[in-house]
Amino acid sequence: MSQKLKSVKGTRDLLPPETSVWEAVETNARRVFGSYGYREIRTPVMESTDLFVRGVGEASDIVGKEMYTFDDRKGRSLTLRPENTAAVARAFVQHGMREWPSPVKLFYIGPQFRYERPQRGRYRQFHQIGAELIGDEGPHSDVELLVMLVRFLRSLRFEDLVVRLNTVGDAESRRQYAAALREFLEPHRADLGDDSKRRLETNPLRILDTKNPAERALLESAPELESFLSEECRQHFSRVREGLERHAVEHQIEPRLVRGLDYYTRTVFEISSAALGAQDAILGGGRYDGLVSELGGAPEPGIGFAIGQDRLIDVLPDSFRSAVRPAAPVLVVPIGDETLVEALQLAEELRDGGLDVVTELRARAMKAALGRADRLGARWVVLVGTSELESGMITVKDFADNEQFETPRAELGEWLRSRS
């Protein structure tokens, strides 16, 4: 016997009925984002490796450790997308979206790929829901994006949200702060882990994101980024906070929040759920005012976020999950092989009337048919036998109440719809 094949490590099959929950979450995303003027974009899962090296940053963990990269038959280096903001920015430049009405608002839903240790809520093929606003640098774009995001999470019935906010300043602010932070940490190099030693050379700000307790304790006395912010950056951040307060979005300032990608500028944020733990964000994002020009386009500011859909669904409130119930199908059962053709025809008539219908594709004993109705979650079982065909009266069993009814065939659809 051949060995059974399994899904690749770090990937998984999403099966019914769980896929109904995924569909409901995505439907809410499309509805909420659409109400703010966002439209869906679908980028390729495979991009030029250079896109992520230039866009995400060569010093980032994603580029340095986690990308699925390979050469195609012509020797071109390609990568399965590890995130989608760079791909959306590439599409913005490639398709001349600068000429579209500004700002351009796009959202996406789809798989991403990173090579990391699989664990609960983290997979090598994972899924993200994200949105990008390109073309406006003002603080009101930051506020509207965050308000939209909170509205979306509340539509999923989250109530325990923790919005964490910071500003990483502009390029000059970060350059000055990186120099000060490097000067502070250099005498403590021996106390740093391998990742932080590497980051000390490439991007010291990333050390602020460390999970190492000893390093976090060391950073308590490090210089604060706030001290190096330009007045313009301070005002921008202040107006973002004022806007969130006006919209009753509770938030807290996290001075060490920098996010893991090199393209972020000014506002950065994460939102956590108490169900995951305060440090385990289900989404994050921020402003990236230099990304479009880094990818060859004219300078355009932008801001966006990405939600880890796998982890989001893991911690969905029970009140949302329990409300996701696929419509109970009507089960049409032929009584005898000679009625199968008519049973199929009747099922099509019911579907034309908007009902979900499952048809038995071969005659079954009544006990077996009712057992199948139970497994399918069907309430109504429509029996199609020779007597029903001759009389024009259809027998319907109410599986929930164990009652039986008769109704004219021509009125069957309306009869079922009125009771569904």
Question: How far apart (Å, rounded) are the C-alpha atoms in residues 154 and 320?
Answer: 10
Give the pLDDT confidence of 107-140 residue by residue, as tens digits.
999 999 998 776 766 789 999 999 999 999 999 9
Work out the end-to-end distance of the chain between its first and last CA atoms, rounded to an integer number of angstroms: 47
Task: State which of 45-54, 210-219, 223-232, 370-379 shows the largest mean pLDDT.
Answer: 45-54
Q: Per residue in 221-230, pLDDT tens? A: 888 888 888 8
Across-strand partners of 144? Answer: none
Q: In terms of Cα–Cα distance, which of 257, 310, 261, 320 is closest to 290?
A: 261
pLDDT tens-place string over residues 4-24? 889 988 899 999 889 999 999
What is the C-alpha separation between 182 and 161, in angstroms, rounded? 34
* Token reading at 177: 């702060």
Distance in angstroms (rounded) separating the CA atoms of residues 412 and 396 = 9
Domains delineated in the chain: 18-170+230-321 (3.30.930.10), 330-417 (3.40.50.800)
Q: Would you call 339 helix, strand, or coil by DSSP? A: helix
In whole angstroms, what is the distance from residue 383 CA to residue 347 CA?
11
Closest CA to 30 of 276, 22, 399: 22
Among the listed residues 282, 289, 277, the one whose alpha carbon sits nearest the alpha carbon of residue 150? 282
78-88 residue pLDDT tens:
999 999 999 99
Over range 269-281, report the average pLDDT.
71
Number of continuous H segments (helices) and E segments (strands) in the chain:
16, 16
Give yes or no for a contact between 288 and 85, defined as CB atoms under 8 angstroms apart: yes
d(CA 193, CA 419): 65
Phi, psi of 144 (to 5 degrees): -60, -40
Is 256 within 8 Å of 207 (Cβ atoms)? no
pLDDT at 39: 97
Pick the more confident residue, 104 or 64: 104
Whether the pLDDT of residue 242 is over 90: the answer is yes
Q: Whose structure tokens read 């009389």?
A: 391
* Contact criterion met (CB below 8 Å) for 265 and 293: no
Q: Averaged over 363-379, what is the pLDDT?
A: 76
Cβ proximity of 239 and 245 under 8 Å: no
